Amino acid sequence: MEVIVDALKDTAIVFPFILIIYMLIELMENGTAAGKSRRALQGPLAPLLGGATGLVPQCGFSVMAAKLYDKGLIRTGTIMAVFLATSDEALIILLVNSPLSAHAAQSILPLILIKLLIAVGVGYLVNAIIPDRIESVPLAHSEGGEITYSCGHSHEDKSSVKLYVVEPLLHTLKVTAFILMVNLILGFIISEVGEDRIAEGLIGGTYFEPFISAAVGLIPNCASSTVITETFVLGGIKFGSCIAGLCTNAGLGLVVLLKNTKKIKRNILLVLSLYAIAVLVGIIINVICSAVGITV
């Protein structure tokens, strides 16, 4: 029952984010005033905005970014900025522990600043390298005289309620059902293995720890951020290893991204890139901390 309740809770948290993003997509596709927000999503400030929103606790914004990327409304660097900045429940755990642990309290600001710098830097670099100029791709196109939108459906003769409420709600329910299924499967696996055993497996030294923690961070479940952060607070892993794990901790955004099997190669390459960046950053931070005498 605990696994089922947790899965329902985690799924319910992202439900409004998914619904909002589908409503926003419908507004953009139909040329309303909200379509002006496309300039912000695709403009020069996009990676900065992506990194800033990703810092908000929980993984709602990573889910929104995954859907926007899937629809071709944001660029690759922008979604990477959101994913790298996302830490699911890590900041909440650090804040809760800060009154009792100076170690946790002192780590909050460095964690936020480092993840933001990494996210924004990688976002701008990737957007500069990858020429996915999505602003030139129209959301709607004509097929045989009938206008078809990026969702693959015609919007002719539909009421505003159906177009902007009912259809986004139906899309949201389908995606939410998929997310709930993944949450249940992962929840039962983590329950069977045990969070303590996962935490024990994180410990591996300056160079090896980031590989393990970054892999754990890829698990799209709030338990991964909890295990990584709690293990760090208790002194089980180094700061760089914690950063590595939280840089890959995009939560359910990864589930939504990988749901698109038509572009599975692109999506897997993006996930592998996140992992490689996280590991590299983790090792560098661990080496720097060791050099200046910071042991944890």
Instruction: Please compute the mean of the pLDDT values over residues 273-281 and round it to a whole number.
Output: 96
Q: Which two tokens stand for residue 180?
A: 């709930």
Q: Is the pLDDT of residue 295 over 70?
A: no
Residues 6+ away with beta carbon under 8 Å from 221 = 10, 183, 186, 187, 190, 251
Predicted confidence (pLDDT) per residue in 53-104, tens digit: 888 877 778 888 888 898 888 999 999 999 999 987 788 888 877 777 777 8
Residue 16 near residue 196 (C-beta atoms within 8 A): no
**Where do the structural domains in the chain lie, given as residue ranges?**
2-291
Q: Nearest-5° angle of CA 161, CA 152, CA 257?
A: 95
| pTM, full prediction | 0.74
